[in-house]
Structure 1
Amino acid sequence: MKLQRRVLVVILSMFLAIGVVFTPITEASEVHAASAYPNLERSINLIMSDSRMKAINSSVTIRKASTGEIIYQSDADKKITPASTLKLLTSAAALDTLGEEYQFTTEVLTDGTISKGVLQGNLYVRGQGDPTLLKQDLDQFASQLKKQGVTKITGNLVGDDYWFDDVRLSPSIDKSDESRYYAAQITGLTLSPNKDYDAGTVIVEAVPTQKGYKAKVKMTPETGIVKVINRTNTVPKGSKNTLSIKRQSGTNNIIISGNVPVGSSGKKEWVTLSNPTAYTLDVFKKSLASKGIKFSPKSVVRRGIAPADGQVLAVKTSMPLKDLMKPFMKLSNNTHAEILAKTMGRQKYGEGSWNAGLRVMREFADSIGLNSSEWRFEDASGMSHSNKVTSAQMTELLFLVRSAPWYSTYVQGLPVAGANDRFIGGTLRNRLTSPLVKGKVIAKTGSLNRVNSLAGYAETKDGETLIFSILTQDQKSSTIPLIDKIATVIATSAN
């Protein structure tokens, strides 16, 4: 049964059984609270009257999870930049469109034949955007080829990344962000350096050597497509660490500059690559070489389309989407969001593009009863300041998805307040750590320049679950302390 039908049945049954009618959303700046939560109203109004909150734009809505009834709102219809809380819509749409068991596939195949240890033909790697592909998977591919007797390849090494279109960066990515892990290029064939799965990045680490000498640089995984420009200097112990690690825009030149003190840990950065497909192929070629598999001197590494009837030599399938939800949502992985958007577009419309993927997200919103015209977004991760939504719509989303068959997977992906484990607490592991609140708030964080947000679920003192969305923008300093105060009020309230 479709989610929309299930939602309508649930709502209709509530109307018939107890006559519940949702509290209508009032005009901007009006504040409303149900009489059952007078202390919550007073406490949050006090926070909202803080000069820091009055000087910015904000939108706050709180609902009962059991009925969807709004029990508090302040500028509930004001459109605010959601930052990464937009991923609440992206992940819901992905679970509904792709399914919890969806897996990405990467294939190694050939258009030739294997005879006496020689693969006569090209070797292709065809990707579907798997953000969890690791060097160890490429090593495994090489081992499988070795077991099939391959020691030499006469043709080229070809990367097929055509599962997605050629637009690799969303409109929201500024040149100053291009080298940062949160702004990786989105391609059909990409590689992650470790199990945080920041696809399309390489880990670059600079550590001190001896005074007067350059820092030692290490990359994980090692790749030859990167040119490291080392402008560092090791300085005496106790000096200031001024290391900077950035990729030069439009190139794969990684410039490392500044001073690194003796005895310090140096600096480590996840740096994006300008061509994730070429990066993946380069690391794979090294994996092949490590197994004694060589290419002909005339062989080249290039991009191309794998033959539809090619012989598949090795396959890797990713973890299912229900498991990917944790690194995606707990760590707020932007690349995962954009990959999922393009995957949704490919799945539903045969087009792995942002246009198609965002269309699927809007259609999903409408299908469950949201008003997609109240949502404006040009990416799926929340990176764009042009993205806008109201707290009323955000909380309605969080209410409606509770009837979905994949809801348990959805909510288990959200960060848990104060939980130390990165894959439980995620971006909330160092927030809301008071014993009164720890573990009682399960929510998605959002943060951009001059923007902070938090949206999710909170268990009250009486054990009731409330849904909340707190969106703020245009602040001169972080509003996280004030947002956390509101979340604390919700979690410690009683009716």
Structure 2
Amino acid sequence: MKKLIVSLLLFTTTLFSQTDPFTTADDIDLLLKDDFFQGCQLAVDAYDLTAKEIIYRHNKKLLMRPASNMKILTTSTALYFLGSDFTFKTIIAHDGEIDDSVLVGNLYFIGGFDPDFTSEDLDTMIMQLKDEGIAKIEGNLYGDVSKMDSLYWGNGWMWDDDPATDFPYMTPLVINDAAVKVVVKPTTVGNKPEVSFIPDLFKPKFINNAVTVKGDSSDLAVTRDWLHNSDKIIVRDSVGIDDEPDTTAINLSRTNNYFLSLARATLEKHGITVKGKCDTSTAPEDVEVLIEHERPFSEVIVNLNKTSDNLSAEMTLRALAYQFNGKGASAKEGVKIIDSLITIVGLSQKDYRLVDGSGVSHYNLVTVELLNEILKYFYFEKEDLYQILYDSFPIGGVDGTLKGRMKEPPTYENVHAKTGTLSAVSSLAGYLTAKNGHMISFSINTQSFVGSARTARDFQDKICEILANIDD
């Protein structure tokens, strides 16, 4: 009789265990059985912020390259230590004296790490300068780049990524994303296409070896002589006569010269003549400030995270370094400030390797645990800053680097997350709201795969879908 009762209990337990629905962890575990993960690494950390419960963890302490998820560390650190009201300033100042309409002295453009400064901003400042009554500059035009060290590229950046605009040559005196746009327009069959530049006040040297051909069979290549560290633009191969004008953005290596050449051309456009030369020099302490252009970090962070702008991240890192260490700001000093935030959230900076602010470097090593702890800390401890961080992330299916993903519910218009992509690396970290109304933070990283990141992204999207469908 006892044997019968025990058998019935075992049968009943087995029956009910077979009919129990899959848990969230089971659903994610099932995904991870795909053959894709036999040859690559995956780490996941998901947390229910409302219930204060762990949802899922897999390889949470595995060190991986964050790619642009590094920007979460950079922007959260800037929000914490600089504040949302921090402003990037570009300054026009002068030494000497202004006699009637003549500046008997030098004009200084002092860089303040503004990553979004444009030719239009420069034009506005020059117009204000003209309104001050200045019509002639007897001295020189100087670019003051002393707030930053002389390292124009990040540690661990890949030399063969040049001249893509995602890998800008850095200076605190940025203009037009440190890049020029090359416009190539077909002319007549057999002849060279027309080449122009945006901004049109910039006149770089260029070689036009391209030819206009019949139809729309364009095979155009636009680059610069980056192997010789030259800003000479090279246009080659062919453009179809039926093609629309082609526009290609190219980074520039001599970014300070770029700014100063545009400054001089803009001054002359507005009738202000310059007698002297253009060069870089540190402004004396007693210069008189004439014009200031300010841009709030609350504006910069949106473009930085939504479009994953590397230049903005690197300028933000150096602004952090300058704020706490003064002139000659470096990535190394900026990383020390990020280390401070890591300590504040309860982890040890000794467990990670950080070398830049954008995640371009292949030397960075972090964990999904670290990224999720940052997200959790801002949610629980920094409500006002959390909202700014949350709003700066791309929205699934709507904008930024998530615009082409997550086009259907429950992730559409729901997931707010930062993407990251490097060769053999794909990451995603941020927030979403589950069907039960709970807010969830998560960090997912996949690396060491071959080929396109599309498969890794698809799995990230599926994990987000599973998390968003939690309804108990």
- For the criterion TM > 0.5, the same-fold answer is yes
Would you say the 8 A contact 1:252–1:274 is kept in 2? yes
Matched-pair contact (CA < 8 Å) for 1:244–1:258? no
Tell me by how many angstroms 1:369 deviates.
1.6
User: Is residue 71–residue 357 contact of structure 2 (8 Å, CA) maintained in 1?
Assistant: yes
Q: Does 2:459 match 1:485?
A: no
Match of 2:134 among 147, 150, 164: 150
2:397 matches 1:418? yes
1:207 aligns with 2:199: no
- 1:244 alignment counterpart: 222
* 278-287 vs 266-275, which moves further: 266-275
- Are 1:190 and 2:174 matched, yes or no? yes
Q: Of 293, 304, 316, which residue of structure 2 is paired with 1:340?
A: 316
1:37-76 map, 5 Å: 38-66=22-50, 68-76=52-60
Q: CA deviation at 1:253?
A: 1.2
Q: 1:59 is paired with a residue of what secondary structure?
A: strand
Question: Does 1:451 pair with 2:425?
Answer: yes
Q: Distance in 1 between matches of 2:427 and 2:179?
A: 27
Mapped to 1, the partners of 2:245 and 2:24 lie a distance apart of 47
- Code of the residue aligned with 1:281 in structure 2: it is L
- Give the counterpart of 2:368 among 377, 384, 391: 391
Query: Does 2:332 correspond to 1:358?
Result: no
What TM-score comes out, normalization by structure 2 length? 0.91
Separation in 2 of the partners of 1:39 and 1:367? Answer: 33
Q: CA 1:146 to 1:393, structure 2 compared with 1: closer, same or farther past 3 Å?
A: closer
Q: Deviations over 1:447-471 (max 9, x none)?
A: 0111111111121122211111110
Moved more, 337-346 or 215-224: 215-224
What is aligned with 1:277?
A: 256
Aligned counterparts of 1:225 and 1:175: Cα–Cα separation in 2: 26
In the aligned structure 1, how far is the partner of 2:84 from the partner of 2:252? 30
After superposition, the C-alpha distances for 1:20-63 in whole angstroms (9 at most, x for unaligned) are: xxxxxxxxxxxxxxxx9943222211211110122201111111
Aligned equivalent of 2:205, options 227, 235, 246:
227
What per-residue deviation string (whole Å, max 9, x for no partner) do you get for residues 59-100 of structure 1?
111111235432212222211111001111110001111110
Note if contact 2:210-2:220 (Cα within 8 Å) is conserved in structure 1. Answer: no
Give 1:117 shift. Answer: 2.1
Q: Which amino acid aligns with 1:368?
A: V
Q: Does 1:166 align with 2:145?
A: no
Partner of 2:121: 137
Whole-angstrom distance in 1 between the partners of 2:187 and 2:37: 48
- Of the three residues 50, 53, 63, the one matched with 1:79 is 63
Matched to 1:437, the amino acid is T
- 1:268 match: 247
Amino acid at match of 2:337: V
- One-letter code of the match for 1:338? E
C-alpha distance in 2 between matches for 1:240 and 1:135: 31
The CA deviation at 1:215 is 2.2
Cα distance between partner residues in 1 of 2:100 and 2:72: 54
Report the CA distance between 1:304 and its aligned residue.
Answer: 0.3
Q: Give the Cα–Cα distance (whole angstroms) in 2 for the partners of residues 224 and 133 of structure 1.
A: 16
Rounded to whole Å, the distance in 1 between the matches of 2:214 and 2:359 is 42
The letter of the residue matching 1:462 is N
Counterpart residue number, 1:322: 298
Match status 1:371 vs 2:348: yes
* Aligned partner (choices 267, 270, 273) of residue 291 of structure 1: 270
Paired with 1:49 and 1:385, the residues of 2 have a C-alpha distance of 28
Structure 1 portions without partners, runs of 5+: 1-35, 193-198, 420-424
1:6 matched to which residue of 2? none
> C-alpha separation between the residues in 2 aligned to 1:468 and 1:52?
21
- Pair 1:474 & 2:428 matched: no
- SS of residue matched to 1:187: coil
SS at match of 1:139: helix
Partner of 2:357: 380
Residues 76 and 37 of structure 1: is their aligned pair in 2 closer, same or farther, counting only changes over 3 Å? farther
Deviation at 1:308?
1.3
- Structure 2 residue 187 is matched with structure 1 residue 216: no
Distance 2:59 2:127 in 1: 59
Secondary structure of the residue aligned to 2:366 is coil
Conserved 8 A contact 1:330-1:415 = yes
In structure 2, stretches of 5+ residues that fail to align are 1-19
User: Where does residue 92 of structure 1 map in the other structure?
Assistant: 76
Work out whether residues 362 and 372 of structure 1, in 8 Å CA contact, stay in contact via their aligned partners in 2: yes
The amino acid across from 2:344 in the alignment is S
Q: Secondary structure at the match of 1:312?
A: strand
Residue 258 of structure 1, aligned match among 237, 253, 258: 237
Structure-2 change in CA distance of 1:314 and 1:166 (3 Å): same
From 383, 388, 411, the counterpart of 1:437: 411
Question: By how many angstroms is 1:225 displaced?
Answer: 6.1
How far 1:382 moved relative to its partner? 0.5
Q: Distance in 2 between matches of 1:37 and 1:388?
A: 37
User: C-alpha displacement at 1:207, in angstroms?
Assistant: 2.5
Task: Tell me which amino acid in the other structure corresponds to 2:373.
Answer: E
Give the match's secondary structure for 2:44.
strand
Q: Which residue of 2 aligns with 1:8?
A: none
Query: In the superposition, relative to structure 1, how do residues 362 and 235 fare at CA in structure 2: closer, same or farther (>3 Å)?
Result: same
Residue 243 of structure 1 contacts residue 266 of structure 1 at CA under 8 Å; is this kept in 2? no
Determine if contact 1:338/1:379 at 8 Å carries over to the other structure: yes
RMSD, aligned CA:
1.8
**Contact between 1:222 and 1:283, CA under 8 Å: does it hold in 2?**
no
For 1:182, what is the secondary structure of its paired residue?
A: coil
Question: Does the Cα contact within 8 Å between 1:108 and 1:126 map onto a contact in 2?
Answer: yes
